[in-house]
Chain A
Amino acid sequence: MLSYDDYPGGVMDEFQAKTLLRKFKIMTPPGVLVKENSLPDVVPLRYPLVLKAVGHDLLHKSDAGAVILRINNRQQLEESFTDLSSRFLGYKFLIEEMIHGKVEAILGVNNNPTFGHVIMLGAGGILAEIFDDVSFRFIDLSGSDVREMIRETSIGRFVEGFRGIKISENKLVDTVLSLSQLIRKFGRNIVSLDINPLILTEADAFAADAKIVLSR
């Protein structure tokens, strides 16, 4: 059971949220958390990398300038780290491999006053609100429900392939069902959860960013 009091303001930061997702076999990009204010000598990840400041008050990291993308070598990594750690004092930092995928989706959960937890899949990743191309279901859903959700949105176009871009429908279905299981097991205090973007590739579905907000 997740408890509001274990997280400042009831917000699980990106690293905590992703750790929970991985327990339910939802894939996240390979990454390491840097707790002290110094970069380890060896970072066991493949370039290009992404560096992010992580904290419960950084729900919208891009807006806050807390993300540096496309880090191609050690020198750039060191420069980026110096930059970010000087601007975000007292924060932790997450270094992750950058996932290449042309299709970005959003997958999330919200606790609805009428129906309880509902699950949402949508196109557009962080631009989802602009495209308004989303589909909701009751949290207790089947694989065929997920396949219908996929086809209700433009994500469905990539199942058969569009201009050479293809996604793995099975991995996406598994990811949605895993999230449904997570909520049914640990969801009681979860008010809202975002996996955004969920990057869809021909072989996998990666939770590139994740946030969870808890209630008391």
Chain B
Amino acid sequence: MLERLFRPESVSLVGASNDPGKIGNVILKNLISSGYHGRIFPVNPSQDEIMGLKCYPDIKSIGYGIDLCIIAIPARSSVSVVQDCVSLKVPFIVMIPGGFAETGDDGKALQSRISSLIEGTGTRIIGPNTVGIYVPGSGLNTTLTPADRVGFPSSGPIAFISQSGALGLLTMDTISEFGTGIHSFVNVGNRSDLDELDLLTYLASKPEVKGIALYLESIPRGHDFFRITSDVVKNKPLVILKSGRTETAAKAAMLHTASMATDDRVIEGIFRQIGIVRAQNETELMDFTRALSYSSHANGNRIAVLTSAGGVGVVTTDLLSLPAHPDLKIAEFSEHTKAEIRKVIVSFGSVQNPVDITADGSVNQVNDILAILNEADEVDMIMLYALPQTPKMTMDLVDVAVKWHRIGKPLLVGVLGFKEAKQMLFSLEKEQVPAFPSISRTVRSAEALAKYSFYVRRKKNAVV
């Protein structure tokens, strides 16, 4: 169990420093400013006190049980600290320094030494070559980016595992713009010991985690990957951005199948088989994970679109009609549905799908039409454009969207614009209504939800 990695009661930081240019300085600041509620033990033989905390020459002299040891000193000197952690039975080490397997033969040898030190012991390692772990719920922040320069998300339902530290940090910074919260972020680095699958197993068991986003550069332990992720997706959505879509299949392959078996094609098929939703970039990774974590699943793939701007509806229809996106279909309204909508909107609006209530449209009309669409059997999910640029589209739209999101069919909201739109996005995110600042992001996320809903129905049918 990794409970004490995510919620350590005590942390030691080897390499803690008063020098603002040192990583050990930034990490200590981040630990303090993130409100870490356990005890912090800075370790540095040349200091007596750092940031008001008593400093120890080494971890042996702390004399208090340590749950997590953060190592922020150069690779070579870190080996003896690992040895100390093993003898003190410290359960977890986050190993920040680079200079290991990623650098060549010497580094590989150094990493093997560390692996053999912990083999068969109760000590587990995240890293080396990692920015560490961030858990807003316990105030744990071992990352090395200064908190005054980047945004750290607040507490939320999304778990985020990344093979790349930098991509993870900048993605967290980005999603904090609209207040997306995360359960935890872990950068696995060189994954000398704990890897993505260990973390997935733990995170899948936590009820407060509603969805998991994973950035992978290579698949760890292929057969275990299949088995473990198949288990994970039984309980929660898993979205993976797998980079490095190279044509690595043997070019000289003698057979057709071998020459077509590129990583990209194989992963596409195997992710479908398992029920993993695949993202193509870091924006989709977070968009899809939000959409899937915040939504119930749909009973089918027919979507209704509701807009107050005709052009937005047309662009949406075009995107949905692309042959490359078969996961989602534009719902065809019944005569009854059309008649009901006609009662609500102005004569020059459109009662077809996409429904266009025009620039004259009001929040009340949106509410009435959402009620009709939620009743319509031919509709499985709904896309609402919240466009705050016209007079009658006020911030009350947020309450309407929140209400139908909670009680109705899956609802995704596109919010276009900047001035008031920004506030609207922020408010929707706070209520965990999946909302997106562009047409294409809304459409792609709707497709991801349709695909995930298909996986959920497939699983249900298989059980019966």
Q: A interface vs B, CB < 8 Å?
A: 11, 59, 106, 108-110, 112, 114-116, 118, 120, 122, 126, 128-129, 132, 134-138, 141, 144-145, 148-149, 152, 191-194, 196, 211, 213
Contacts and interface: CB of A to CB of B under 8 A. Distances in A.
A144 B462 contact: yes
Contacts, number: 92
Contact of B226 (A109, A129, A138): A138
A211 B249 CA distance: 18
Given A116-B223, A192-B254, A193-B255, A138 B260 contact: no
Contacts of A211: 254-255
Of listed B249, B259, B266, residue having the most chain A CB within 10 A: B266
Interface in B250-280: 253-261, 263, 265-266, 268-270, 272-273
Contact of B270 (A109, A134, A136, A152): A136
Say what secondary structure dominates the interface of chain A: strand
B273 A110 contact: no
A138 B257 contact: no
11 contacts: A110-B255, A110-B261, A114-B218, A114-B219, A115-B223, A115-B225, A118-B270, A128-B260, A134-B260, A138-B273, A191-B258
Interface in B217-239: 218-219, 222-223, 225-226
A112 B266 contact: yes
Nearest to B218: A114
B89 to A, nearest CB: 35
Interface of B is mostly: helix
A129 B256 contact: yes
A181 to B, nearest CB: 17
Contacts of B223: 115-116
Nearest to A124: B256
Contacts of A128: 256, 260
Contact-residue bracket for chain B: 20 to 34
A62 to B, nearest CB: 12
CB-CB nearest 10 A-B residue pairs: A108-B257, A136-B269, A114-B222, A110-B261, A192-B258, A194-B255, A115-B222, A192-B255, A136-B266, A110-B258
B266 A106 contact: no
Contacts of B266: 112, 114-115, 118, 136
B245 interface: no
B458 interface: yes
Contacts of B259: 129
B257 A148 contact: no
A108 B265 CA distance: 14
Contact of A120 (B254, B260, B263): B260
Nearest to A191: B258
Between B219, B249, B257, the greatest number of chain A beta carbons within 10 A of the residue's beta carbon is seen for: B257
B257 A120 contact: yes
A73 to B, nearest CB: 33
Contacts of B255: 59, 108, 110, 192-194, 211, 213
Contacts of A191: 258
B268 A136 contact: yes
Q: Interface centre among B249, B256, B259, by most A CB within 10 Å?
A: B256
B254 A136 contact: no
A157 to B, nearest CB: 12
A155 B279 CA distance: 26
Contacts of B273: 137-138, 141, 145, 148
Contacts of A136: 261, 265-266, 268-270
Interface in B265-307: 265-266, 268-270, 272-273
Contacts of A109: 257
A213 B462 CA distance: 35
Interface in B11-30: none
A192 B261 CA distance: 10
Contacts of B258: 108, 110, 191-192, 213
Given A134-B260, A144-B458, 11 more contacts: A11-B254, A115-B219, A115-B270, A120-B257, A126-B256, A138-B273, A191-B258, A192-B258, A193-B255, A196-B257, A213-B255
A136 B255 CA distance: 15
A143 B226 CA distance: 18
A114 B267 CA distance: 10
Contacts of A129: 256, 259-260
Contact of B269 (A11, A59, A149, A196): A149
Nearest to A59: B254
Contact of A137 (B253, B256, B257, B269): B269
Contacts of A118: 261, 266, 269-270
